[in-house]
Amino acid sequence: MIRFLTRRLIWMVITLWVVFTVSFFLMRAVPGGPFDQERKLDPQAEKNLRDRYQLNDPLLVQYWNNLKNQATFNPGYPLKRIDISIGEIIRDGFPISASLGILAMGFALTLGLTAGIISAIKRYTAIDFSLMTVATVGIALPNFVIAGVVILLFVFMIPIFPPAGWGTISHMILPAFCLGAPYAAYIARLMRTGMLDVLSQDYIRTAYAKGLMPRTVVLRHAIRGAILPVVSFLGPAIAGILAGSLVVERIFAIPGVGVHFIEAAIQRDYPLAISMELLYTVLLFSANTIVDIAYSVIDPRVKLE
C-alpha cells in the first residue's frame, strides 16, 4: 500500500507540472490578454498594470515565477481583484463545491444502485423496461437541460425549492440532483448488467438451493460482485460531476469554486485559472486513487502492486 501511494504521489506531481506547463503556454498563446476584455485603457495605465503583474517579463521568467508560486502554495492575487487572494477564494468556495459534489454523488449512487438492482430482479418486465428507458433518457440529457426542466417544474409550476442561492439544504437539492442524475442513469445500467451476470452464477444458485431468502441472496451475495463495474465508473463519474458543477453552479448562483473557474477563463485571469485547473487535477487524481483502493478492497483478486 505504501509503495502504491508513493508511486501515485510521484505521478500526481508530474501530472500537475504537465497541466501547469500546458495551461501556462496555451493561455499566453491565445491572442489578447487579461486587460483587452474591458474598455480601452490608457496605454500608460495598461503598461503599469502589466508591470505590476509581471506580464511584461520574458515568458520563461513568468513561467518560472508562476511555477515557484504554485509550488510554494502562494498563487497570489487574481488579476481582476485585489481585495481577496486566490487562496481565500479556494478556502471559501471549495467547501461549497465539495458539499454539492458529495450530495450529487449520493443522489447518483442511491438512485442508480436501487434502479439497477430492481431492474435486474424484475428483468424483462414493465418495471425493467420503464427504469431502463428513464436511464437511457437520463444519459442523453446534459445536466444543464435537466436544470432547466427541474427549475420550470419545482420553482415556477410547483414552488417547492428556491430558484438559486446558497445557505440551506433546500438550496442544495435541485443543483445536486441535476449534477447526479446523468450519472445515476449510467450507474443504473451498469448495476443491472452486473446483477444479471452475477445472478446467473453457480454460487447464487447454490444460495437459493440452501433456502436463503431472495433478499439475503441479493444483499449479502450478489451485490458485492455486481458492484465492481460501478466502482470502476466512479472515477470518471467524479470527474464528470466536478466538470458539470462549473455549469450548474453558474445556473443556480452557487458561490463555489466553479463560478471562479468560469470567470477566470472568460476574463483570462491567468493566476486564478491555473490555480483552479491544478485544484481540479488534484481532486480527480485523488478520486481515482481512492477508487483503485476501494476496488482492491471489494475484490481481493485485484492487487495494488
31-57 confidence digits (pLDDT tens): 766 766 555 666 666 677 677 767 777
pLDDT at 299: 66
Instruction: Compute the average pLDDT of residues 111-133.
Output: 89
* Strand, coil or helix: 165: coil
Judged against a pLDDT cut of 60, whether residue 294 lies above it is answered with: yes
pLDDT at 111: 92
pLDDT at 14: 94
Q: Which domains does the chain have, with CATH numbers?
A: 93-298 (1.10.3720.10)
Q: How much of the chain is helix, strand and coil, in % rounded to 5?
A: 75, 0, 25
DSSP character for 261?
H
Q: For residue 225, what is the enclosing H or E element?
A: helix 223-226
Query: Which cell goes with 37?
Result: 476584455
Model confidence at 10, pLDDT cuts 50, 70, 90, reads: very high
Model confidence at 86, pLDDT cuts 50, 70, 90, reads: confident
Could you give the angle at the alpha carbon of 89 between the alpha carbons of 236 and 22, nearest 5°? 55
pTM: 0.79
25-30 long-range CB contacts below 8 Å, 24 or more apart? 25/59, 25/63, 27/268, 27/270, 27/273, 27/274, 28/59, 28/62, 28/270, 30/268
DSSP 93-108: HHHHHHHHHHHHHHHH
What dihedral angle (degrees, nearest 10) is formed by the CA atoms of 258, 261, 265, 266?
50
Average pLDDT along the chain: 83
CA-to-CA separations, 236 to 64, 119, 231, 285, 288, in angstroms, rounded:
32, 23, 10, 11, 8
Q: Which amino acid is at 207?
A: A
Q: pLDDT tens digits for 163-214?
A: 888 878 888 899 999 888 888 999 999 999 888 888 787 777 787 777 777 7
